[in-house]
Structure 1
Amino acid sequence: MAKWGEGDPRWIVEERPDATNVNNWHWTEKNATPWSKERLQQLFDDFKIGQSDIECVVDAVDKCTGEATVNNRKGKLIFFYEWELVLKWSGRLLNNSNLSHKGKLTIPNLSEENSLEDVELTVTIDESNDESETLKQFMYNVGRERVRQQLGVYIKELKEEYSKNLILPKKSDDGIALNANNAKNAAQKTASGVTTPSSAGNNSSNAKSSSVGCKLDVRTLSMCEEFHCNANDLYNALTKPDMVTAFTRAPAKVDAVRGGEFVLYGGNVLGKFEELVPEKKIQQSWRLKNWSSGHYSNVVIELEETSSSTMMTLKQTGIPASEYDAMRTNWHRYYWHSIKQTFGFGSSIADAL
C-alpha cells in the first residue's frame, strides 16, 4: 500500500473508512456455484406445466453440472455462468387413457454467452406412441417456453443475490461521517512525517503532477498449460485480431509486430509486443489499466509442440503484489480456459481452472 503522498491516489485508504478494495479498483470474485445448484433444483422441483387436457411435470433435475461466478472489475459487475441441465419430466392426457409417459428435457448450453431465447432445449420421450408423441409436442411448443421462464428467474436472482456487497460504496456513499481532521492526523502519524495534513487532503490532485513514483512491491508468476492443438494454431490465437476477439468476446486491437500495440477487454488490458517468434515465443510489455501510471509487467510466452499437443509456459515479472493471486486466476479464466472453450483446444472447465 502506498504511503500518503506517494504515487497513485487510488491506493490511499482514506477513500474508504474500512480500507477495503479502494474505489472497487481490484478484481474481486464470488463463487456462485453452490447457490446456483441449489436454486436450480428448487426452481424445477415438481414444476408443473399443463393446460385443459394435458398435465406435465418436471419430476427431477437429473443432471446439473457447471459453474457460476460473479466478478467486480473496476466497479463493473461481470457474471459468468455455464450449465448443462437434464430434467426428467412426465405427463399424461387427462381425457384419454390417463397413462403417464416419461421423457427428458436437456439444456446443454445455459451460459452468459447466449441470450435466453438462444438457449437450446431438447425434448425427448422414453417410449414412442401416439400419446407420448402428443405430450412430447406439447413440451416442445409450451413446456420449453415455461422452462425458459424459470431459467430467467435463476439468472435474475443470480444477479440480484450476488450483486450485494461486491461493489463497495465509496467514501461519499458510505453514510459514515468521518472526522476529516482525525483522519488526516492518523494518516500523518502512519506516514511518520512523510506528508502533512494539508498535502494529504490534496493528494488526489497532487499525484498527477508529482514526480514522486509509487514504490511497488512486485511478484513473478510462472505457469504452464497444455493445449490440444499445434503451436501455430495457439500462436495465431494469441496474435490474430479475429481470433483474439473471438476468445475475449469483445473488440480487440492487436498489432502483432515488434513495437505493435494491443488493447483487450474494453481497454482493461493493454501493452505492446516486444518480440515475436512465430510458433515459438511472444514477449510483451503488459499492464492492467488500473495499475499505477507507467507501470508495466513483462510477459514471456513460450510454445513447445509435442507429438500430441502444445505446451505453453508463461513467465510474468513485475506484477503488483496485491494483484498476484487474482492475476494467476484470471490468466486461467480469461485466456487459457476461454481459448480452449472457443477453439476446442482443451479440456474440461475443471482442468482449466
Structure 2
Amino acid sequence: MAKWGEGDPRWIVEERPDATNVNNWHWTEKNASSWSQEKIKELFNNVVVKTDKADLKITGVEKFEGEACANNRKGKLIFFYEWDIVLNWEGELNDGTDVVHKGTIKVPNLSEENDMSDLDIQIQLKDPDEEGEKLREIMLKDGKTLVRQQLGNYVSSLKEEFSKGMILPKKDEIKPDQVKTLASGFNKKINMAPIISEKKTVGLKIDTTTIEQTHKFQCAAEEFYNALTRVEMVTAFTRGHVKLEAVKGGKFALFGGNITGTFDELVPNKKIVKQWRYKQWPEGHHSQVTITIDQKNDHTEVQLTQTGVPKTEADVTTNNWNRYYWEPIKHAFGFGAILGDL
C-alpha cells in the first residue's frame, strides 16, 4: 500500500473531500433485496395475460426468497441477484362455463447467471381437470412470455436504480456541495450470531477435530490472497467493520468481533496460517487455520485445514466457512465456481 505523499492516487484518501473510495478503487456494495421484493410485487400485481381464448391474469406473489445487491469493483458495476419465486395465477375459458381455475408459476432460479430466454418457468394447476389443462396450455404459451417480460423489467430497473451513486466522481471531479450526499455503500451487514448459548470456562478438557475443505475459484492466486489479506476486500465480502493487520503476528477481528485471531505465517499468493477462534468457544481456545493457494491453468484451488476445532462445533464451523467466507467471496468479487466445482 502506498503511503500518503508517495503519489499513488488509489490510496491518497485525504485528497478526496469526502475521503471515500478514491478513484473508485475500493469495493463498495448496496443491498437491493428489500427494493427487489417490492419491485417484483409491483410487477406481478394483477397482471393480465393477453389472449383471445381465455381471461387470465397473474394475481400476485406467493413466495419470494433470495437476495440481490449491486457492487462497484474498480469502477465496474457488478449486479448479483438470486431469487426463488412462486406466483399465483387464475383464469377461465371464453366458452361460457364461468369456471375459474387457479394455479402457480414457479421460477426456481432467477439469477444473473441465466439468460432470460433460458429461464426455467413452471406452470402448475391447483385442481387439474380437462378445462384447467387447457388454461395451463395457454399459460405455457402466453403466460411464460409475460413472466419473462416482467422479470426482464425487474432486472433493467435494478441496474438503473442501483447504478445511481455507485461510481463516485474522482477527486478532481467532485464539487464541494456533493460531499454530504456521498456514501461508501457498505450497508449490508452479516450477523454471525452466537450458536452456543453457554460459554465454557478455562481448564475444561476439549475434544477437538480437524476440518478439511477444497474449493475452486475463478481468479488468479494473487486475487484470492488479496481477498483474505487486504482490509478493503475483507470488508467487501464480510460487509461489516474489519480490523486486520496482515503481517506475521498481526491480529484480526471480523463479524463484530465474533471471529478473532493472529497471523502466524503469510506467503504471498501461496499460503496463510493463522490462529483462529470463534467468540463462543471456551475462553482462550484457538484453532489453527492453514489456507494453501494453488493457481492452476484456468482457476485457483484453495485448500483449508483447520485443526483444534471443538468437536461439538465442527459442523457449524464447516458450514460457516462456506456461508460467511467462500460464497460471499465468489459473489463480491466475481470469483464464481467453475464448472465441476462441488
Q: Give the TM-score band, short-chain normalised.
A: 0.5 to 0.7
Q: Is 1:272 aligned to 2:274, yes or no?
A: no
Deviation at 1:301, TM superposition (A): 5.4
Task: For 2:82 and 2:272, locate their aligned partners in 1 and report how far apart those are by CA, in whole Å.
Answer: 36
Kept after mapping to 2: 8 A contact 1:224/1:311? no
Report the residue type matching 1:165 in the other structure: G
Counterpart in 2 of 1:302? 306
Q: Deviations over 1:159-191 (max 9, x none)?
A: 0000100110113443679xxxxxxxxxxxxxx
SS in 2 for 1:84: strand
Relative to structure 1, is the Cα distance of residues 339 and 165 closer, same or farther in structure 2, using a 3 angstrom cutoff? closer
Deviation at 1:52, TM superposition (A): 1.4
For normalisation by structure 2, the TM-score amounts to: 0.60
Counterpart in 1 of 2:76? 76
Kept after mapping to 2: 8 A contact 1:59/1:89? yes
Task: For 1:103 and 1:85, locate their aligned partners in 2 and report how far apart those are by CA, in whole Å.
Answer: 14
Task: For 1:55 and 1:314, locate their aligned partners in 2 and report how far apart those are by CA, in whole Å.
Answer: 49
SS in 2 for 1:11: coil
Task: For 1:38 and 1:72, locate their aligned partners in 2 and report how far apart those are by CA, in whole Å.
Answer: 23
Task: For 2:143 and 2:117, locate their aligned partners in 1 and report how far apart those are by CA, in whole Å.
Answer: 14
Taking the TM superposition and a 5 Å limit, the aligned residue runs for 1:160-199 are 160-174=160-174
Bigger share in helix:
1
Task: For 1:138 and 1:2, locate their aligned partners in 2 and report how far apart those are by CA, in whole Å.
Answer: 63
Task: For 2:3 and 2:331, locate their aligned partners in 1 and report how far apart those are by CA, in whole Å.
Answer: 36
Q: Deviations over 1:98-134 (max 9, x none)?
A: 2111000011111112221222111100112221101
Deviation at 1:50, TM superposition (A): 2.4
SS in 2 for 1:155: helix
Relative to structure 1, is the Cα distance of residues 43 and 99 closer, same or farther in structure 2, using a 3 angstrom cutoff? same
Task: For 1:19 and 1:336, locate their aligned partners in 2 and report how far apart those are by CA, in whole Å.
Answer: 26
Counterpart in 2 of 1:193? none
SS in 2 for 1:132: helix
| Unpaired stretches in structure 1, ≥5 consecutive residues | 178-222, 238-243, 254-261, 287-298, 316-327, 346-353
Task: For 2:124 and 2:319, locate their aligned partners in 1 and report how far apart those are by CA, in whole Å.
Answer: 45
Counterpart in 2 of 1:333? 328
Counterpart in 1 of 2:290? 282
Task: For 2:223 and 2:270, locate their aligned partners in 1 and report how far apart those are by CA, in whole Å.
Answer: 13
Counterpart in 1 of 2:46? 46
Deviation at 1:135, TM superposition (A): 0.5
Kept after mapping to 1: 8 A contact 2:70/2:162? yes
Q: Deviations over 1:268-299 (max 9, x none)?
A: 789422489xxx9634589xxxxxxxxxxxx9
Kept after mapping to 1: 8 A contact 2:80/2:331? no
| Unpaired stretches in structure 2, ≥5 consecutive residues | 178-191, 196-208, 230-267, 274-287, 295-302
Counterpart in 1 of 2:214? 236
Counterpart in 2 of 1:91? 91
Kept after mapping to 2: 8 A contact 1:15/1:23? no
Counterpart in 2 of 1:29? 29
Counterpart in 2 of 1:12? 12
Taking the TM superposition and a 5 Å limit, the aligned residue runs for 1:117-128 are 117-128=117-128
Larger-gyration structure (1/2): 1
Report the residue type matching 2:168 in the other structure: L
Q: CA RMSD in A?
A: 4.5
Kept after mapping to 1: 8 A contact 2:69/2:79? yes
Task: For 1:275 and 1:171, locate their aligned partners in 2 and report how far apart those are by CA, in whole Å.
Answer: 35
For normalisation by structure 1, the TM-score amounts to: 0.58
SS in 2 for 1:10: coil
Q: Number of paired residues?
A: 249
Q: Deviations over 1:29-68 (max 9, x none)?
A: 1111111000000000011102112121111211111111
Relative to structure 1, is the Cα distance of residues 31 and 330 closer, same or farther in structure 2, using a 3 angstrom cutoff? farther
Deviation at 1:23, TM superposition (A): 0.8
Q: Deviations over 1:278-332 (max 9, x none)?
A: xx9634589xxxxxxxxxxxx98525696984845999xxxxxxxxxxxx97666
Relative to structure 1, is the Cα distance of residues 99 and 17 closer, same or farther in structure 2, using a 3 angstrom cutoff? same
Counterpart in 2 of 1:214? none
Relative to structure 1, is the Cα distance of residues 344 and 100 closer, same or farther in structure 2, using a 3 angstrom cutoff? farther
Report the residue type matching 1:40 in the other structure: I
Deviation at 1:95, TM superposition (A): 2.8
Kept after mapping to 2: 8 A contact 1:25/1:75? yes
Task: For 1:339 and 1:310, locate their aligned partners in 2 and report how far apart those are by CA, in whole Å.
Answer: 23
Kept after mapping to 1: 8 A contact 2:4/2:11? no
Counterpart in 1 of 2:265? none
Report the residue type matching 1:161 in the other structure: E
